[in-house]
Structure 1
């Protein structure tokens, strides 16, 4: 008999689409390439939108496609109100938005407010003006100490390696050399958000895209806009700040209280538009109580739940993260988001196959030994758990194919500035950004028709191509299609949740919605778990087993056959998840 613990989450009865949506992240460089130049583009995305509709997602989030020198794959923006010719033009953007709406999907675009490209007109204007001028007031400049010209203004690190300060170029067009701040690459100078002109400029940028019909914004580095008064030294190093339990706001450049005033003004603007638009924060913030401040009723609608993404493959830790996430978000009336992969972290089909002492979200030296069999098995099970949870879920392109992290890219192919700025000590994020495989026998596996690809694709991508998996019983793609269809059919995103005590090595919970109770069980133990007699198996993340006497019955891959023999004794394998209708 299952023992039910206290209710962790009440059903969400509010109608807002974003409270329970499944949102699919598209990384434009690597999704689909219509013109064959080896880089994905907006027409390529538009051509593949029916695939996403059939997958069952509610919205797409598109990473930056703005004019950019591509020093950081488009997150170095040179013009927030245009489209880089690499990806198309504004007409192509309009067509993409219109086509997505025709297919019943919403469109979220990326906004990058912490920094611009060094080629942005604002920064070029600042360089052409003298120190102390209004033009330089748009960015964070500091004078060079004449007595110690090599001394940096403070000890802040760049997220991509090295210091967060560089000298302005001393040229005929630059009348005064100073230091400028860049928390990321030196070609990404930080804006000064204390400047009211910067704030007004970004409100105009939001209006530009809202007027073109976008349904919302994903805000890059949402926790970084405001810096502490006086730009004091950080009391902790970058690695020390990442330790569990260290409040992110300990760093004088992250999660400062002043950011919230900015987002309240953004929310007010968005609320003035019809159509239930939404914002989601990329805020790498701990503890969760600090993250909850970003999703108060007058700020963001959502914030990414990176605490869940970083969870180890451990039942107690997963239960704790789920419970804490739901409780913390509910304290401010917000939905929880769930995510396992994105363009900045090791794909979870590889990450979950790493030994516990190597479990990291980003690649270091590459000297890691993932177990690919365990990795994909756990990835499928983790996805089955995630897509059952109340709230909103984010998928990263290719995870529905079970794509692994590409670890062994050659050095001359790598483009992430992290690799360059650390001298190769950190491999960076290229391994999760390799172009998608669509057709196994086509050039570039169907990414385009020419065979060009901005990052090399490994041979295994051919085996995992869409056309190899579509309609294939037991494939990861068909698992995702079944998960998303059942999630919608049973209303899991809006349901209430209670945990069940079925054993220390299981994550077990009941989701109650209009369709009734859906029981979700994830086995993280060392032996199979027997499914209670009379339970109906809706699906399993991997093959189940049954008693020898019933071996002739349906073995219950349950990915594309929900109506199998549910009377046989069924067992849930290790590293597998099941969705059940519990016995009466």
Structure 2
């Protein structure tokens, strides 16, 4: 475990000079903690996490020092895709609680100064949604089917799908219904795509946004924000033709320019509240176009996933940070930094795999191959992965912009690979016949106590299996241990609030491309050693007024150890 260096609990008074007088919108440099509700805490002992479970852990969340939580979907769902198949956008899944439970949780979080961001899934509904059930019953040519994307098939009797397009989760992107028509689903077949040219669809989502904003929600995370608008003018292109089309705003299915007409309407809704509601786009688009989603007249902020997909490599980290800060300046937004979330192998494991420092290898693909090959823990250098993960985390928390943390990373949790086929839930695994393992391994319920049933997640097991070694990472085991990962995260998040200044940084040359050093306004220095050899700090910096205030590994004197980050205050 890492050892954070000591700093007076009340921070040295001269560090307060880093604070600036103007108060920007809360989201610009927020630390946002993502909660996957079904795997956070289970209050009613049914094996599934719930909203009362979250409420019971608000003291823990407050102790972390986060500014906001982002809740993955908690709506009624058949769980064909972990809750991202929504049957009712304005209610709570009965297995997770009630609207009264939501209100109680929201009030308790707000009481502790924690904002709340909820997930909105606008590209598709569940096939259990009342609209889709109405469309099935109404038949061909009905008004109900116009809310979705239905087409006649091809070939004799229309028995073949309208196109050869593939779903993101594997298999055909079209599903045939009893009367012979086909509907489009870019994800699981239980997730029919909505027709965003239909005025009722647009009006209904405005109603949904107002429903949650009126309850006091502070912001929204927009799932696959780049996919809502589609041009399905006949004849439809083949998959091969789609692959050749440019991603410049004119593609029939992805990142169309006219999607921003939708978000301009949403922005009017957000701005009608005081304070205005915030939003962040999940938009997997060309980097040159991500700023369109982050403009003030659009959603206002967009996820930057570049570091999530980067090797543990200094020059790559520097390039990504430089490029993304330049883009945010062009959009009047702030950047977002992400190392783990509910869709990827946890970064403590990614960084422990062989070649994690090689920029020529995509770490997410390497991790996916590791899972396919059996996911043996013997193939992961767990100690090194943890060391690199905490170094990367302190680097990210030092950057200007907002940081998104995924539940469990503050415990140093690695990926769970030992899940039997019969216990898996991710539709990717089943639709690809096991050719892709899916995302279950990062969604395993959290360990709270080492010796309790389900490691304290709940009293009657967990919906995904927890391995025996999970107890090593339990919250209770790390509480009060100054050398634990949890203590490091708490220290970093609380200290970050005090040191945070204007959204600027200056790179300081180190003479080594595997050592990055930047300074923030107010004299807050961040030095990350991505290499295997120790790095000696410049004498003037090492002798600064504040000295090293935090480190991801034991740091003695003026030396930054291999694969470590230090924070230094000079004023």
Give 1:143-542 correspondences, 5 Å limit. Answer: 143-145=152-154, 147=156, 149-168=158-177, 170=178, 176-230=179-233, 231-235=236-240, 247=247, 252-286=252-286, 288-356=287-355, 357=361, 359-360=363-364, 363-364=368-369, 365-367=371-373, 369-450=379-460, 452-492=461-501, 494-502=502-510, 503-512=512-521, 516-533=522-539, 534-535=543-544, 536-542=547-553
Are the aligned partners of 1:154 and 1:232 in contact in 2 as well (CA < 8 Å)?
yes
Deviations 1:23-66 (A, max 9, x none): 11100010000011111000000110111111000111111111
In the TM superposition, residue 167 of structure 1 has moved relative to its aligned partner by: 0.5
For the residues of structure 1 that align with 2:456 and 2:25, how far apart are their CA atoms? 37
In the TM superposition, residue 477 of structure 1 has moved relative to its aligned partner by: 0.5
Q: Which residue, out of 532, 551, 567, partners 1:579? A: 567
Aligned to 1:76: 85
Deviations 1:200-240 (A, max 9, x none): 011111111111111111111111101234243344788x9
Range moving further from structure 2, 365-374 or 52-61: 365-374
For the residues of structure 2 that align with 1:309 and 1:148, how far apart are their CA atoms? 46
Are the aligned partners of 2:304 and 2:337 in contact in 1 as well (CA < 8 Å)?
yes
| Partner SS, residue 207 of structure 2 | helix
Aligned to 2:8: none
Deviations 1:71-115 (A, max 9, x none): 111110111111111101111011011111111111111111000
For the residues of structure 2 that align with 1:133 and 1:572, how far apart are their CA atoms? 67
Are the aligned partners of 2:247 and 2:254 in contact in 1 as well (CA < 8 Å)?
no
User: CA distance change for structure 1 residues 191 and 136 in 2, over 3 Å: closer, same or farther?
Assistant: same
For the residues of structure 2 that align with 1:413 and 1:229, how far apart are their CA atoms? 38
Deviations 1:164-208 (A, max 9, x none): 11101x1xxxxx321100000000000000111100011111111
For the residues of structure 2 that align with 1:495 and 1:122, how far apart are their CA atoms? 45
For the residues of structure 2 that align with 1:251 and 1:179, how far apart are their CA atoms? 22
Q: Which residue, out of 142, 164, 172, partners 1:133? A: 142
Are the aligned partners of 1:474 and 1:542 in contact in 2 as well (CA < 8 Å)?
no
For the residues of structure 2 that align with 1:247 and 1:541, how far apart are their CA atoms? 40
For the residues of structure 2 that align with 1:219 and 1:358, how far apart are their CA atoms? 26
Are the aligned partners of 1:117 and 1:187 in contact in 2 as well (CA < 8 Å)?
yes
Range moving further from structure 2, 293-302 or 368-377: 368-377
For the residues of structure 1 that align with 2:504 and 2:362, how far apart are their CA atoms? 35
In the TM superposition, residue 358 of structure 1 has moved relative to its aligned partner by: 6.4
For the residues of structure 1 that align with 2:99 and 2:129, how far apart are their CA atoms? 18
Range moving further from structure 2, 570-579 or 422-431: 570-579
User: CA distance change for structure 1 residues 373 and 150 in 2, over 3 Å: closer, same or farther?
Assistant: farther
Q: Which has the higher contact order (CA 8 A, sep 6+)?
A: 2
Range moving further from structure 2, 534-543 or 118-127: 534-543
Number of residue pairs matched by the alignment: 533
Range moving further from structure 2, 229-238 or 270-279: 229-238
In the TM superposition, residue 249 of structure 1 has moved relative to its aligned partner by: 5.7
For the residues of structure 2 that align with 1:154 and 1:55, how far apart are their CA atoms? 49
Are the aligned partners of 1:529 and 1:571 in contact in 2 as well (CA < 8 Å)?
yes
Are the aligned partners of 1:233 and 1:252 in contact in 2 as well (CA < 8 Å)?
no
Aligned to 1:173: none
Unaligned runs of 5+ in 2: 1-19, 356-360
Deviations 1:421-477 (A, max 9, x none): 011111100000000011111111110133x11111112210111111112122110
Deviations 1:469-506 (A, max 9, x none): 112122110110111111111115x3420111102111
Aligned to 1:564: none
User: CA distance change for structure 1 residues 12 and 430 in 2, over 3 Å: closer, same or farther?
Assistant: farther
Q: TM-score, length-normalised on structure 2?
A: 0.90
| Partner SS, residue 138 of structure 2 | coil
For the residues of structure 2 that align with 1:315 and 1:12, how far apart are their CA atoms? 33
For the residues of structure 2 that align with 1:414 and 1:458, how far apart are their CA atoms? 14
| Partner SS, residue 444 of structure 2 | coil
Deviations 1:340-370 (A, max 9, x none): 1111111111112223346216735532533
Are the aligned partners of 1:235 and 1:251 in contact in 2 as well (CA < 8 Å)?
no
For the residues of structure 2 that align with 1:475 and 1:379, how far apart are their CA atoms? 13
Are the aligned partners of 2:309 and 2:362 in contact in 1 as well (CA < 8 Å)?
no
More helix by share: 2
1:63 paired with 2:77, answer no
In the TM superposition, residue 12 of structure 1 has moved relative to its aligned partner by: 11
